[in-house]
Amino acid sequence: MSVDEPTDKAAHIRHLLATEREAVRENTSHFNRERYRASTEYEGYEELRGRAREIKEDAIERLPELIETVRESVEANGGTVYVADDAADANRYVEEVVRDDGDTVVKSKSMTTEEIDLNEALEAAGVDVYETDLGEFVVQVADEAPSHLVGPSLHRSSDDIAELFNDRFDPEEPLETAQELTEFARDYLGDRIVEADVGVTGANFVLAESGTITLVTNEGNGRKVAATPDTHVAVAGIEKLLPSIEELKPFTELIARAATGQDVPQYLSMLTPPSDSPSLDFDDPTTPLSKQGSEDREFHLVLLDNGRTEMREDPQLRETLYCIRCGACANSCANFQQVGGHAFGGETYTGGIATGWEAGVEGLDTAAEFNDLCTGCSRCVNACPVEIDIPWINTVVRDRVNRGADEGQFDHLVEGLTPDEEPGGMDLGKRFFGNFETAAKLGSATAPLSNWLANAGPVRAGMERVLGIDGRRDLPQFERETFRDWFEKRGGAAASTKRARETRAAGGSLVPRDEATREAIVYPDLYTNYVRPGRGRAAVRVLEALGVHVEVPDVPSSGRAPLSQGMVATADAKASRVFGALAEHLDAGRDVVVVEPSDLAMFRREYEKFLPDASHQRLSENSYEAVEYVFGLLENGGDADVLTGPDADDPGVAYHSHCQQRTLGAAAHTQAVLDRLGYDVVLSEAECCGMAGSFGYKRDYYELSMAVGEDLATEFGGVHGNRRVVASGTSCLDQLDDLLDRKPAHPVELLDPART
Amino acid sequence: MSNVRIAGFGEALEDHGVSWARTDIEGFRSTLVDALVNPAVGVPLGYEGVSLDDAPVTVDPTPAELRAATTGVTPARLGVATYGSFLIDSDAKGSEPVSLYPERHVAVVRESDLVADLPAALDELGDAYAENPASAVFATGPSATGDMGALVEGVHGPKHVHAVVLENR
């Protein structure tokens, strides 16, 4: 489906929320939970991911050589290898093979044949094609696109499928249950398999040295399709090549765990066709299997390029080729869980990594249609079994989409607010959010007038129309006194005696440098500085109470806002400026304490792309999430009693951590610190609040954002309805503000010695 | 062969929904017969001291007998202790279709052919494929799908899998 107008996009999402949400949510959350369980239970899972990554890096590096190796081995085994340049080339070859052998094809599940629209090509040539994977069969009968890499029909419930089958096949007894539907499909497709002339499969892996095709299946259809007809055609992208069985090992342990949480698939086929397995002529009533022979067996391996060589040469898209199509990125994605692959996908591929595939295989236009659904929350980063930086691929593609746009009529409206490194013509809303720093500076300087003005009817209407900011959202309220203003002012009279000993008046810390156990910078991120200075003030007081000399220097914004809009060049420039401003502090041995988790994630993760390795390492290693830092201080002898614990009648705390904070492994510290101070803490089970920076402000995505937030609202509004709500991220706080009646706070505000 | 590995294999079989029995050569026939649901077909086991010949199993069936059978009996080249998997060869005897088409698969595996885990099994397979590449499948439990809206066992492959573990020295 092509979705050009923003309003169409919102309507399409609304439609999917109404129709497919329930089944998609149930199935993907189930896969996701099972993946967590399976990966935790398997000792050494993380090491396996690293090993799998290395193997893929090496295999893609050696790809041309592996293609030659597999050509030799398959031919030596008696098969044929055809390297197809593109979809048409591949389809033409398969069509010729099929025409030589008959006119009926059975297929096992293959996304690669979906990519080239093989079924359509064969059907146009008069061939009957039957999908035998039950999920693929459902979408074939329904004439739909798969909605998930692993579960093509997971957007449909049993009732849906029963209605579809009863309508289409008109069985004597109407089908109802999953059991009945499965038996019906098995019998129907079983007949098709024994009648078929050609079996077409994909390949999960292709082992170059032996010419072995590895198929991972649960239903057994892949085995039947490969073993029953005489002719077997396997269609695989060239990126599926691995050198040998040795390199396959980590993938056999990873793939099912990552996909469905199974320890091992039901069937892991290691086919080196043409096989010795007897040809089965089911019309022959007398010849036993051992006399049926396998001489008529034919095997064709079609290796598909279709843009992959170019992807390999593209340093940003290259790692897409490491993908083993397990669907873990989709299952871990909060937006995907709500709308599934019919929104979050292109022509063929769905979920987070689909952006890379669609950009490489189809082109930017297709990728652009759903690219905005990636919020960069990074939950897929730890889910991916081959450690692909999927959010980065999404960001790069967003950047390319931005750069591909033409200049628009409204550019002049945001020019003054957008001192960026980006081309004219990009989406105005993106440009506005990407340059949020300018708006924040201006808004704060003119608050409260700016807040009043921004919320006035005509202005909101204009913001919705031109910038796509949804009118149902409360806008951030800018504070007239910024966090840095407060810090500077505070170094006045009250602190003068202590600060007199300072050699220079470098800020307003109440702890003299020469009496401090440590020195730290509290990074004045955009949101803490202009919108939520209270959490900065609390962080300063907490650190000082623990004996840390604090400074709040003038450091530019991190570049998170522009990066989230795909403005890579702007973010890159910001990274250099941030590092420039922090370098002397790092050299002086000061720790960098970051209140906003998405900015900490910039320093630790994304800056790796922008800064020299040594600079990135120095900043990354010395940066801490605010409460993570408190945890470290307490672990090293800090006195917890100087912080504020629960009140006598404390209602307890409901804590929602931040997506990127969890990816960094910096979320558990908050719970540990609150526990240690005696708070009764529950953690949200909902993984994502749905806000994700600017995402939830956008008119196209407002409803999706609220749909994602529903789980959190139910949890914190229901059984935990009396607890004090705390959250680490600005976005999460904004969303909780909208979802709940209670005012949420940052956890460091609970610890604040000045809290009353 | 250690009893520890056999116990682990048995536990893994049960975890994956596979029933099993352990027997020696003397007890093989009756153990096998107990595991059959007729009509049964099979391929020659190729193990010393035991055979399907005196059991109610049609050895080396026609394709029509294969399709009509409820039970298929095959040897397993290896058993994988951690997952309760069998490595079934796609051999000229028809082990692949016989283990796949009938509703019930009875796999006979020798204790001496049990390996600790999948990487160990792949090592053995890799050595064999280096000499002579062939086809085989690691099969674990019954065939299954969630595609019809709920987990259902017994799809294109068997609905029930039973293991006969044969003691040998």
Instruction: Spell out the domains of chain A, with CATH numbers in brackets.
Output: 52-282+289-309 (3.40.50.10420), 483-751 (no CATH)
Band (pLDDT 50/70/90 cuts) for residue A415 is low
> What's the CATH code of the domain at B123?
3.40.50.10420
User: Looking at the complex, does the CB of residue A411 fall below 8 Å from at least one CB of chain B?
Assistant: no
The residue among B93, B165, B87, B153 whose CA lies nearest residue B123 is B87
Q: Is the confidence at residue A502, as pLDDT, over 50?
A: no
Q: Percentage of residues in chain A with pLDDT exceeding 70?
A: 95
Q: Report the interhelical angle of A702-717 vs A730-739 (nearest 10°).
A: 80
pLDDT given at position A409: 54
- 119-138 in chain B: CB under 8 A from chain A: 119, 122, 125-126, 129-130, 133-138
Chain A residues within an 8 Å CB radius of B82: 263
List CB contacts (< 8 A) between A267 and chain B. Answer: 137-140, 143, 157
Q: Tell me, what's the pLDDT at B59?
A: 97
Q: Any chain A CB within 8 A of the CB of B61?
A: yes
Distance, in Å, from the CA atom of A33 to the CA atom of A261, rounded to the nearest integer, reads 8
Taking CB atoms within 8 Å and a gap of at least 24, the contacts of A500-508 are A506/A551, A506/A553, A507/A550, A507/A551, A507/A552, A507/A553, A508/A552
pLDDT interval class at B2 (50, 70, 90): low
Given an 8 Å threshold on Cβ–Cβ distance, is A227 in contact with B118? no
pLDDT score recorded for residue A298? 96
Q: Do B106 and B71 meet the contact criterion of CB atoms below 8 Å apart?
A: yes
- When CB atoms are compared, the residue of B94, B101, B156 closest to A219 is B156
CA distance A341 to A349: 8
Structure tokens at A128: 């009957």
Name the closest residue on chain B to residue A210, using Cα atoms. B133
Cβ distance A245 to B126 less than 8 Å, yes or no, reads: yes
Q: Tell me, what's the pLDDT at A406?
A: 54
**Predicted local distance difference test score (pLDDT) of residue A426:** 78
pLDDT at A101: 80
Q: Is the dihedral of CA A174, A179, A185, A190 positive or negative?
A: negative
Q: Give the model confidence (pLDDT) of B74-112 as tens digits.
A: 999 999 999 999 999 999 999 999 999 999 999 999 999
- Per the structure block, which two tokens stand in for A359? 């950009």
List pLDDT tens digits, range A427-469.
888 888 888 888 888 888 888 878 877 777 778 888 888 888 8
Q: How many CB pairs under 8 A join A and B?
A: 210
- CA angle (A101, A107, A109) in 5-degree steps: 155
pLDDT tens digit string along A312-329? Answer: 999 999 999 999 999 999
- How much of chain B, in percent, has pLDDT values that exceed 90? 93
Look at residue A213 and give its three-state secondary structure.
strand
- Alpha-helical segments (H) within A117-261: 118-124, 134-142, 158-169, 178-195, 221-227, 245-260
**pLDDT interval class at A493 (50, 70, 90):** very low
pLDDT of residue A2: 43
Q: Indicate if the pLDDT at residue A360 is higher than 90.
A: yes
ω into residue B39 within 30 of 0, thus cis?
Answer: yes
The pLDDT of A674-684, averaged and rounded, is 96
| A423 has pLDDT over 80 | no
Residues of B whose CB is below 8 A from A246: 122, 126
Residue-number span of the structural domain to which B87 is assigned: 1-166
Q: pLDDT for A1-49, tens place per residue?
A: 444 455 688 999 999 999 999 999 999 999 999 999 999 999 999 999 9
pLDDT band at A477 (very low <50, low <70, confident <90, very high): confident
At A416 the pLDDT is 63
ipTM of the modeled complex:
0.98
Compute CA distances A540 → A117, A543, A547, A741, A746, whole Å: 59, 5, 11, 28, 13
Tens of pLDDT along A182-218? 999 999 999 999 999 999 999 999 999 999 999 999 9
pLDDT at A307: 97
Q: Which amino acid is located at A81 in the chain?
A: V
* B116-136 pLDDT tens trace: 999 999 999 999 998 899 999
Q: What does the pLDDT look like over A109-165, one tens digit per residue? A: 999 999 999 999 999 999 999 999 999 999 999 999 999 999 999 999 999 999 999
d(C-alpha A533, C-alpha A494), whole Å:
20
pLDDT of residue A458: 79
Determine the Cα–Cα distance for residues A109 and B157; give it in Å rounded to an integer. Answer: 15
Question: pLDDT tens, A341-352?
Answer: 999 999 999 999
Domain count, chain B: 1
Write down the pLDDT at residue B45. Answer: 97
Q: B104: which strand partners? A: B71, B160
How big is the CA angle at B7 (ends B4 and B12), to the nearest 5 degrees? 125
Is there a contact between A297 and A274 (Cβ–Cβ < 8 Å)? yes
- Distance from chain centroid for Cα B139: 8
**Coil, helix or strand for B19?**
strand
What percent of chain A stands above pLDDT 90? 81
Q: Which of residues 169-198 of A touch B (CB under 8 A)?
A: 177-179, 181-183, 185-186, 189-190, 193-194
Q: Are B7 and B15 in contact (CB under 8 A)?
A: no
Q: What does the pLDDT look like over A79-107, one tens digit per residue?
A: 999 999 999 999 999 999 999 888 999 99
Q: How many CA atoms lie within 13 A of A693 on its CB side?
A: 29
Interface mutation vs chain B, best among A47, A230, A245, most B CBs within 10 Å: A245
pLDDT at residue A215 in the model = 98
A701-711: per-residue pLDDT in tens?
999 999 999 99
**Residue A422 pLDDT greater than 90, yes or no:** no
Q: Are strands B40-42 and B78-80 parallel, antiparallel or unpaired?
A: unpaired
A344 Cβ contact partners less than 8 Å away, ≥ 6 residues apart = A330, A333, A335, A336, A350, A351, A354, A370, A373
| pLDDT value of position A610 | 97
